Structure 1
């Protein structure tokens, strides 16, 4: 049986690890620089 303290610490660590993961994945896949139209004329 795992102690309640260890369960709580594991939950907190999982939350910290997960924070920003979705945003970071989007940045990796799409990048942060917007597309610029080049040579319009």
Structure 2
């Protein structure tokens, strides 16, 4: 999920994790199926 500072998020929406947390772990964005949902991928080398 894409989160915005100061914007409230329903409790159940973050069970998939926030985009920033995945990006900080090295994942990259590959697609956006909806405005707020993001598909992230971690490529192994």
What TM-score do you get using the length of structure 1 for normalisation?
0.24
The structure where helix makes up a greater share of residues is: 1
Larger radius of gyration: 1
What TM-score do you get using the length of structure 2 for normalisation?
0.23
Looking at both structures, which has the greater relative contact order when contacts are Cα pairs under 8 Å and sequence separation is at least 6?
A: 2
